[in-house]
Structure 1
Amino acid sequence: MSTSDVINRLLNQSRYRLDVLQSPAFLDVLRFEGEEQLSKPFEYIIHVTSTATDLTAEQLVLKPATFTMQAPVFDIAGVAEPVRAVHGVIQHFSRISTSADQTIYRLVLVPRVALLDHTAKCALYLNQSVQEVVEKVLRAHGLEGPDFEFQLSRQYPARELITQWRETDLAFIQRLLAEVGIYWHLEMDTRLEHDVIIFADSQQQYKFGVRLPLRNQAGMSDSGTESVWGLSTQHQVVTQQVSTRDYNYREALSPMDTTASAAGGDETTTGEVYQYAEPFLQSGSEDGVETGAFYARLRHERIMNAQKTVTGHSSCPHLAPGQVLEVDGTLPSVLNEGILLTGIKTYGSRKSRFTAQLTGQPYSETLCFRPVLPERPVIAGTLPARVESTTKGDIYSWLDNQGRYRVKLDFDRDEQEQGYACLWLRMAKPYAGDTYGWHAPLLDGTEVAIAFDSGDCDRPYIAYALHDSAHSDHVTDDNHTRNVLRTPSFNKLRMEDKRSEEHIKLATEFGKTQLNMGHLVDAERAQRGAGFEIRTDEHGVMRAGKGIFVSAEEQLKAQGKVLDMDPALGQIHQANNEMQALSDAAMQATALASDIQKQLSFVDNRLTQLQSAAILASAPMGVALTSGEHLQLAARQNLMVNAGNNADVGVMKNLFIGAGEALSMFVHKQDATLIANQGQVTIQAQNNAMSLTARQTLTITSSDDEIIITTPKKLTLNGGGSYLTLEASKIEHGSSGDMTIKCTNYLVPMVGASKPSDTPKFPIVTMENLTEENGKDFSG
């Protein structure tokens, strides 16, 4: 600063002074206009003159500065006494004009918080209160403890999510504070010489004790007295009450309707404002914080703030927003309690006196000032994000007990712990209900589109999932005719729509278990069959509690009843008729007949339309059962085997046929043959008689050895009435005719002889009475 500038400053008798830190030249105030409002940064537009003709922006912009309003009273050194000092920074600088002896500059002085308007971003704040978020934003801009102060009467709760969306930091904190009814103003710290932000939420934080007389302006002359004049009041009809409603899916059945009024019986109010989707989680009461009633009350207080307004003028430079001005003089009764100053515009120059234009509202103990609520940002459409788990690349989904996900929004630049970048989000689904719906879990890294309820930036949800370059789509131009639902572990439902090759595949990798239907193909899409296939490398079970019908009968185009079994039953009836005929023939031949009535009853009462839990299998051209080892057919009651032509049973080793009671083998027309090619044939009636009867010749032949007939008692041979009996002690021949013996020699040694007639002894066999696990007799 030059010597002439110092002399100019010392001798300056102007009522106003502007000091810019490290300014290279003295700036003499020519005129100024100032505007201050609650919950807004102040702005002073100051025109100055200087002998310096080429001041630069680097010398002034963003420099701390103080605008001082001085009284025309001087100390011994001839320096004017300061009345009020406004501290801030220079935000704007322009060079207006230059004359022979001076240059006019225009500077704009703002508080430091106004610089937040030059930072705009998108950000997320999790589990923090409004106060915590505002403090975090301020500190990010270098504002520390001495630079702001919260004088709050309420404790504000942490919110799950607070979103800053394409807002400047200033607009963001103004919106947050206005939403919960916190207003703020600026005070000057004379010791540290900087501005201080004061945050408040009730009338308790107003500045009281300001009193001025009501009279014509006297200016700031030596003999003048600071005063107020030109007071005017305005009244208008406003809404009588505010009702709110919201929906909180966390408590889906809880009522969320509230109504509040700050009118207090005022008869100049009428009507109702109904606000849907205020950002609250419970209806609560007006005494609660961030409840439905709380927001309804705030909204009505904002409306009531506009019911009665006051304007006027003053010559007092000490007045500031947030003060309650008491005026001495005759006033309307509405102003008896004072005037809350909400805005001030000031003017002054070298040639004109200081003037303040006042805006305010009548002070009320029941009605607090609330900032105007800015529009909440609306996020139209969706935003990209990725699902997150606590483990990178987790092979399983990370969900909470409500089936919600954590995501990392693509716009979020903050570094957070893996899996904790956002709150739990619901996922929209095509189908949902009480413990039912459609939910395919999303894995870490999956791209999702985040939508917002009514565009509300604080109410996100997962709209849908998408494929991307890192997570390729499983349906592309290579398989564009296929509809595929496939999980990360390759559980799959595939539906092929290619004409004449339509098929469905339902498969899991465990045991390669599959259901294939239609045009069956292999991995290279070559046909390997048609129809359907059920296969697995593990166990397979087919279970139906009311019965199973398996049929190879054709049913064209799936036309017909599900249990259309007439062809199968026709075959069974035909077989039963044949069995009835055989059974009747056996009875005529005194053979044991079949239990044909049980077969008929089984068909009519159980198989027909599956009236009982039975299995009916039918094929018009044949059925084959084969086993690499064992094949077992078992029935607790009857086993029925019918064949219209031949029945063949072949056994390469042993064949056992056992009957607990009787065995009957009946041949109607041709031979009955029992042949042992190499082994013996043994026929025994171990504990009863045996009959061999033939209508014609009965032949007993040993082709290469003797025939032995043995009995321990008596053997009788009878032919045509002649007989031969052999007993232990005699032999008797008898005939009514001749007896001829033809032989070369007939020897009678006259000595008795006999051979042993040993015969095997057979025990009486008993069988254990076998039962099933259910206790029923297995034999029926």
Structure 2
Amino acid sequence: LSDIATKGLDALNSLTSANPLQALKQSEPLKQLDKFTQSNPLDSLNSLTQLNPLNSLNSLLSQGGSRTLYGVITQFSQLSVSNDEARYQVVLSSQLAKLALSHNCAIFQNQSVISVVEEVLRGHGYTGIDYRLALKEQYPEREFITQWQESDLEFIQRLLADVGVYFRFETHGEHNCDVMVISDYEQGYQQVADIVYKQPSGTLDNGVESVWDMTLHSQMVEASVTVQDYNYRDAQANLLGEVNSQQKDNTTYGTDYRYDEHYKGLNSNGNSNNGIDSDTNNNNDDADDENSGDIDTDDSNGNNNDNSSDISTNSGNTSNGVESGEWYASIRHERAISRQILIRGKSNQANLAPGQHIRIKGSAIAGIDEGIMILTVQGQGNRSDAYELSFTAIPYQPLKPYRPEPIPFPTIDGTLPARVTSPDNDTYGYIDTQGRYRVKFNFDLKKWRNGEESLWLRL
């Protein structure tokens, strides 16, 4: 059994992929799934098909270091057969890739975004070993979150990106598995050793790990973000806000106006805000939220699990400004600023991965004295060429965390059938003091207490 070639992709907030065709190639985007594809000549098909679905890919490098990638085999192909050998292709993906095969429509109630993500992960067998929270903020409960015709993977990616939370992967050496790290600030990056800037001599690097061919690309981005929303409980409330997190930067211009970020208060998340009633939390709980694609279900079995954040408890009962109007404007502008400067380079450091904070010694690029944060990695090598990585990164800036690109909410075309509900033994549909009803949506498969199947809705 020998490897002809391998390719891959790894990125922050994505899954890692590797794909062996003609060359050893691995790439990792920050925020995506991990996938590693291998092309192998084998003596027999059975020698590979009998492998356990949970596998690791080790000893990829001919030089000193090695890296172990853990995951699940998601694809297997026979590429060619001859008298001398049979050649196959295998795709090794992160365990998270399996969530892309589960598509759901669901409702979640009275849970924070982090709580919903944990519920989905635990529903797929994830334990406290398989994922880790490294969060700075405490995220408030939302009264209603909807998953609408999305895979579970798409759903949690959308929820996390909406509140500026990214995820990356690291290896758990003791338990031999990959770990999903969920974080919202710069301390969630993985700190690694410094690396020297040095061009290899010809095709030889003499086993010295280095970085070379670094380039910098900068662009103008929006100078500010303006947000606006509407809360029917206080129709006269001013929910218009604007944030410019880089007021002294003369390379920014223009305004990104974003309407309907689904917040109740401009300076608070809605638990208390100048007369706005606090019967719900941060997101608008009107029927309009059905179209936002954000609905959450109650998790009576696992709302409080043992995998708490490194910084906060994320209890959901918080009165800070997280998920307020100005908070949304701030993280949206942080996203714009993180796109302002992009660094590209090459390296033979096999363990380079998205989410790592690295200092470069001897680089001529200005403005990266604090180091860089790796966004994507794509590596390749074969029997004739040395292993080489191409990476993209952004300058590391304390107090300016990376924010993923928000993912559009799915839209619901037309109307959704639902039935007005009430508690047991009520003859008529129950309404609250504002004349609102609760309903049971036909698409919702969860079991709720009678009269608690939804948030309060205006009909």
Taking structure 1 as the reference length, the TM-score comes to 0.49
Give the counterpart letter for 1:32 in structure 2. L
The SS at the match of 1:238 is coil
2:206 pairs with 1:223: yes
- Aligned residue number for residue 396 of structure 1: 428
3-state SS of paired residue (2:40): strand
Would you say the 8 A contact 2:131–2:180 is kept in 1?
yes
Mapping 1:448-463, distance limit 5 Å: none
2:55 equivalent among 61, 65, 71: 65
Matched residue SS, 2:156:
helix
The 8 Å contact of residues 14 and 70 in structure 1, kept in 2 or not, is answered as no
**Per-residue CA shift, 1:445-473, capped at 9, x if unaligned?**
xxxxxxxxxxxxxxxxxxxxxxxxxxxxx
In the other structure, the counterpart of 1:268 is 251
Matched, 1:201 2:184: yes
Is residue 2:52 matched to residue 1:52? no
Deviations 1:251-285 (A, max 9, x none): 32221111112224111001111111111111116
Q: Provide the residue aligned with 1:315 in structure 2.
A: 348
Aligned pair partner of 1:256 in 221, 235, 239: 239
Cα drift, residue 372 of structure 1: 1.2
Q: Give the distance between the partners of 2:252 and 2:5, measured in 1 at CA.
A: 46
Distance 2:145 2:215 in 1: 41
Any unmatched runs of 5+ in structure 1?
1-7, 17-27, 74-80, 428-780
Matches within 5 A, 1:701-712: none
The residue number in structure 2 matching 1:104 is 87
Number of aligned pairs? 396
Q: How far 1:161 moved relative to its partner?
A: 0.5
Aligned CA distance change for structure 1 residues 404 and 219 (closer, same or farther; 3 Å): farther
Mapped to 2, the partners of 1:243 and 1:291 lie a distance apart of 13
Give the drift of 1:40.
Answer: 1.2
Q: How does 1:279-358 map to 2 (within 5 A)?
A: 279-284=262-267, 288-358=321-391
Measured against aligned partners, the alpha-carbon deviations of 1:474-527 in whole angstroms (never above 9, x if no partner) come to: xxxxxxxxxxxxxxxxxxxxxxxxxxxxxxxxxxxxxxxxxxxxxxxxxxxxxx
Tell me what 1:238 maps to: 221
Structure 2 counterpart of 1:369: 402
Cα 1:369/1:404, change in 2 over 3 Å: same
- Displacement after TM superposition at 1:30 (Å): 7.3
Q: What is the aligned counterpart of 2:28 among 36, 47, 50?
A: 36
Q: How much has 1:351 moved relative to structure 2? A: 2.5
Q: Which residues in structure 2 correspond to 1:400-549 (within 5 Å)?
A: 400-427=432-459
Per-residue deviation, residues 682-723 of structure 1 (Å, max 9, x unmatched): xxxxxxxxxxxxxxxxxxxxxxxxxxxxxxxxxxxxxxxxxx
Q: How does 1:527-606 map to 2 (within 5 A)?
A: none
1:351–1:202 distance in 2 versus 1, CA, 3 Å: same
Indicate how the Cα distance of structure 1 residues 219 and 66 shifts in structure 2: closer, same or farther if over 3 A, else same. farther
Preserved contact between residue 346 and residue 355 of structure 1 (Cα < 8 Å):
yes
Structure 2 residue aligned with 1:86: 69
Post-superposition CA distance 1:387-442 (Å, at most 9, x none): 000025x3223011111101000000001111111111111xxxxxxxxxxxxxxx
SS state at 2:367 partner: helix
Instruction: Specify the SS of the correspondent of 2:193.
Output: strand
TM-aligned CA distance change 1:400 to 1:269, over 3 Å: same
% same residue: 36
How far is 1:194 from its partner? 0.7
Alpha-carbon contact 1:124-1:164 (below 8 Å) kept = yes
Q: Is the 8 A contact 2:225 2:257 kept in 1?
A: yes
Question: How far apart, in 2, do the equivalents of 1:97 and 1:369 lie?
Answer: 44
Contact 1:218–1:225 under 8 Å retained in 2: no
In the TM superposition, residue 163 of structure 1 has moved relative to its aligned partner by 0.3
Cα-to-partner distance string for 1:59-82 (whole Å, 9 max, x where unaligned) = 45x801111135547xxxxxxx76
Equivalent-residue separation in structure 2 for 1:415 and 1:98 (angstroms) = 53
Q: 1:218 to 1:189 in 2, by over 3 A?
A: farther
On the 8 A contact 1:15/1:71 being kept in 2, the answer is no
Aligned partner letter, 2:25:
E
How many angstroms apart in 2 are the aligned matches of 1:43 and 1:382? 39
CA distance in 1, matches of 2:69, 2:200: 23
Tell me which of the two structures has the higher relative contact order, counting C-alpha pairs closer than 8 angstroms and 6 or more residues apart.
2
Asked if structure 2 preserves the Cα contact closer than 8 Å seen for 1:207 and 1:323, the reply is yes
Q: Is the 8 A contact 1:165 1:377 kept in 2?
A: yes
Structure 2: how far apart are the matches of 1:178 and 1:386?
32
| Partner residue, 1:626 | none
TM-score, with structure 2 as normaliser: 0.81
CA apart distance, 1:305: 1.4
Query: Aligned Cα RMSD in Å?
Result: 2.4
Separation in structure 1 between the aligned mates of residue 175 and residue 192 of structure 2, nearest angstrom: 24
Greater Rg over alpha carbons, structure: 1
